[in-house]
A and B are shown apart, each in its own frame.
Chain A
């Protein structure tokens, strides 16, 4: 077994290397082999398969398939459902990511500068992160219920007739966004708190000596630049998580009403695993992967540029 595993070891400069080094290299291979095999089987191979299948008309349950070139992609971009789905995902992300980032930053700064109740507030805002989203979505469905829900009952006290948050096509994305924000603020908050505690106190004193008297000056000159790497990371992860919205949609709206809450992962799920149109759903998955790659690429680019702050 050991010999077979060590076989792919490059033998180029073997003569120059001592037996100990060879042994070390072989151990290295042996220890990482299980991980490599699984990585290949469950990540690399499936990604390659998804790309290949996106060029076929394969449907689960049918024996054969044909190569159809870029037909699936052409269908995608003329499909109203898919375009709607991309658009809805964009709108949802454009609401949830910025709001949850800035709300978390604001709350983190308030908690950081407040002496009492620090751990209570952190717990309260973080609780949604540790809660089962499918379960809490059900609670939100009750809160948002148009007639018996507490949200609209409260609005009625102020003489406002609240909308049907999850049932009206013009409101459903906002309703889902509120749940999305509620769920993700705590995660960002904890990251920002860690970033804030890491800022050396002396910097604030130095800024004070240099004439930064107002709280806003301190924020602009010290906090914001020092938080740069944290903010970048929080931004990337918030956007990626918002693009991956699925649980609330599946639980509460099933993409409805009238496809008003059809989002990317839900459309992929529906086409691939309910209608079993694997080829077509693969093409969507490839688009989804490309979006993720672009986001990560942007993060690396920006990170390279601001590296001198850290």
Chain B
């Protein structure tokens, strides 16, 4: 078990881990390699990783011109940012009230939150779609964002976090004459950054990757989010021009993967915190 000694057991362990990592990373390796291959290379030599005729420029140009990648990425950013900001603005006051203020409905609200945790968008999508269709709200940022403005999970997470905060902090602020909204803005939020970052990661990963809801409410390229845009691109390419397809997947996967690689520690902390639910 000594970290310095190199036993047979350790060699096997390292081999399994490295082999596993190689398999898990293989799709990325092939994505990067194929994005630079000409159509002829793709058909003749699928196992060689270095493209014979470098076609990165050609493939990326195709990917960037067929579907407006900038619009897609911009839509993704706008939708995720709106969802996150509204979720937090709605969930934090509610969680604070439930955790630190005495009022009768708090217990009943806890039941609602627990019930809400059970219900994914897939279960509420039909009636919301029918309502949005009637109100002519489809194909808009509003349609993409509105159903996610309430995050029961966010309330739950912040509630756990706020309960662990010392009451003295809040009493002291009240004695100083701060209003409850002042306490939230100047005492609670500055102390809740770990929970807010964790929730930000959870929320952005979930909504950046979501295909189900955008597929339902958007039928128009100008509001397409990245996953939906990639579906359009696949349809336009008839799914056979793998070089261009891989270039497009590379562009669309890159932002979140880069964010993850830059802020790995936070990501992992965030996932454990949100994953283990307190």
Contacts and interface: CB of A to CB of B under 8 A. Distances in A.
Contact of A25 (B104, B119, B124, B125): B104
B1 A113 contact: yes
B109 A36 contact: yes
A34 B24 contact: no
Contact of B216 (A122, A127, A273): A273
A138 B47 CA distance: 18
A124 B20 CA distance: 9
A113 B16 CA distance: 13
Contacts of B90: 34-35, 38
B198 interface: no
A136 B271 CA distance: 20
* Category for how many chain B residues contact A: 35 or more
Interface string A102-124: 00000100110111110111111
A285 B104 contact: no
Nearest to A34: B90
A282 interface: yes
A128 interface: yes
Interface stretch (B52-60, B77-85, B147-155, B189-197): B147-155
Interface string A218-262: 000000000000100100010000001011001100000000000
Interface string B33-51: 0100000001100110000
A29 B103 contact: yes
B28 interface: yes
Nearest to B154: A35
A138 B249 contact: yes
Given A21-B102, A143-B26, A110 B253 contact: no
Interface stretch (A47-55, A82-90, A92-100): A47-55
A38 B246 CA distance: 40
B237 to A, nearest CB: 10
Contacts of A186: 24
Nearest to B256: A130
Interface residues of A, number: 94
B127 A45 contact: yes
Given A288-B123, A296-B118, A132 B34 contact: no
Contacts, number: 272
Interface in B227-271: 227, 230-231, 234, 239, 242, 245-246, 248-249, 252-253, 256-257, 259-261, 264, 267-268, 271
Given A27-B180, A247-B227, A130 B123 contact: no
B50 to A, nearest CB: 14
Contacts of A127: 24-25, 28, 257, 260
A141 B30 CA distance: 12
B43 A148 contact: yes
B129 A31 contact: no
Contacts of B120: 244, 292
Contacts of A212: none
Nearest to B21: A124
A149 interface: yes
Contacts of A176: none
A190 interface: yes
A110 B27 CA distance: 23
A286 B259 CA distance: 37
A174 interface: no
Interface string A279-310: 00110010011001100100000000000000
A44 B124 CA distance: 9
Given A27-B97, A135-B230, A139-B31, 8 more contacts: A9-B104, A28-B103, A28-B106, A32-B97, A110-B16, A132-B249, A139-B249, A273-B215
8 contacts: A27-B180, A50-B126, A107-B20, A111-B17, A117-B14, A121-B20, A127-B257, A132-B209
